[in-house]
Amino acid sequence: MADNLPNSETTSSQVLEQTSQDFKCPSCGGHQQFDPASQQLRCEQCQTTVAVPTIAKTELVEYDFESIANQDGRAFYRQIRTTRCDSCGAQVELEAFAIAVRCAFCGSAQVTDLATSPAIPPEAVVPFATNREQASKSFKKWLGRHIFAPAAVHREYLPDRLHGVYLPYWTYDTATETTYAGMAGEHYYVTESYTAIENGRSVRRSRQVQRTRWFPISGTYREYFDDVLIQGGSTLEPKNLSKIEPFDLRAAKPYQEAFLAGFGANSYSVSVREGFDLAKQSIGRAIESGIRAQVHADELRLTSQETRYFELKTKQLLLPIWTSSFRFRSKTYQFLVNGQTGRVFGQTPISVVRVGLAILLGSILALGIYQLIAFLTNS
């Protein structure tokens, strides 16, 4: 893969022009976009569907980490770029890191050609499986469970504000070997006597008290990790994006532009090396859990833990996400929908009035129950 990537980055401040591809209907010449329901390209005008073009590549490739780790290319996507619309010829400006947009003049889907990009291209894409209508229903169902959300939130939400976008992720495969040392603890119990006061009298009682016996341990732990998933960067909060995981990566297909038609898509802003630094954090937590299981101790205190990584491989893939937001009292609230599974994460304000009414109604209900019990007891 490294041989196919340019080794230089464009760093001038001039506007860069990229070529792009659009998708025209074979029946009426209208604009096509990828349809999650049929997994085909659908014409927005006559609704004709055609299969996503087949490509020779059928299997995903994971690349040797060191062979591509020095290929960055992010500076290219930070610059002002334009693409010439294939449908109307207009110049379309691309936001930072964008690789798929809609033409602002004719509405056609434009997917930039990544062949000449200095960045590491995506190897795979998990296509949208949830359309806008389904994502909207998922969000409404989620919102319905938040009874303390102000009524204005329901009025502010509009389905057409949902935007589908493919975000970049890295996956990492690696074999690990960890040497560790520390102290392991085994619990045991002893009988302890104590004095208690019962009915005004001092009495002796006994109880079982837990103690821990500590002993030194050391050893080697080995584990293979497959498809450790790390976000490749976006304007969305990583902690919020993690709330709509997991994605089923078995549905990933070799990258081709047709899957992006009609959706936004971004290139990565987190380098492959930076991504691996983040991956090592989650790998480290998994290794520590594995060591605890291997030691078979009630408690474990590791004083040293050193991990070596072998056969490290990586790939970039694009994952589907529906995103939207609304404003309430000068504050913006964001929500996300997993474009594959429909899983929702959102932020919503809390209505003080609704909370107050709930407390009041709860108090009235509790008082009514108390009075009913008192009446039944005295009757």
What is d(CA 348, CA 147) in angstroms, rounded to the nearest whole number?
A: 11
- Among 29-43, 72-86, 235-249, the range scoring the smallest mean pLDDT is 72-86
Percent of the chain whose pLDDT exceeds 70: 83
pLDDT of residue 362: 67
Burial 268-301 (b: 16+ CB within 10 A, else e): bbbbbebbbebbbeebeeebbeebbebbebeebe
Among the listed residues 65, 34, 66, 64, the one whose alpha carbon sits nearest the alpha carbon of residue 49: 34
Average of pLDDT values for 57-63? 88
Q: What is the pLDDT of residue 330?
A: 73
Average pLDDT estimate for 194-213: 90
Q: Which of 93-107, 126-140, 345-359 is predicted least confidently?
A: 345-359
Confidence of residue 2 (pLDDT cuts 50, 70, 90): very low
Does residue 294 sit in helix, strand or coil?
helix
Q: Look at residue 155 in the predicted model and tell me its pLDDT.
A: 60
Distance between CA atoms of residues 99 and 316, nearest Å: 14
- Do 311 and 175 contact (CB within 8 A), yes or no? yes
Residue 217 · residue 330 · CB < 8 Å = no
State residue 270's pLDDT score.
93
**Nearest one of 264, 256, 241, 270 to 337, comparing CA atoms:** 241
Average pLDDT rounded to a whole number, residues 302-319: 95
**What is the structure's pLDDT at 349?**
56
pLDDT, residue 79, reads: 78
- Cβ neighbourhood burial of 77 (10 Å; 0-12, 13-18, 19+): buried
Tens of pLDDT, residue by residue over 143-182, are 766 665 666 666 655 556 788 999 999 999 999 999 999 9
Residues β-bridged to residue 102? 109
Mean pLDDT across the stretch 289-300? Answer: 91
Q: What is the pLDDT of residue 11?
A: 41
Element (H, E) at 358: helix 352-378
- As a whole number, mean pLDDT of residues 342-366 equals 66
**Is the four-CA dihedral 172, 175, 179, 182 of positive or negative sign?**
positive
pLDDT at residue 356 is higher than 60: no
Mean pLDDT calculated for residue range 46-67: 89
Sign of the alpha-carbon torsion through 293, 305, 313, 245: positive
Band the pLDDT of 73: cuts 50, 70, 90.
confident
Mean pLDDT of 352-377: 63
Q: Which of 47-51, 136-140, 242-246 has the lowest mean pLDDT?
A: 136-140
What does the H/E/C string look like for 136-182? HHHHHHHHHCCCCCCHHHHHHCCHHHCEEEEEEEEEEEEEEEEEEEE
pTM for the full model? 0.79
Does residue 27 contact residue 50 with C-beta atoms inside 8 Å? no
**pLDDT: which is higher, 108 or 293:** 293
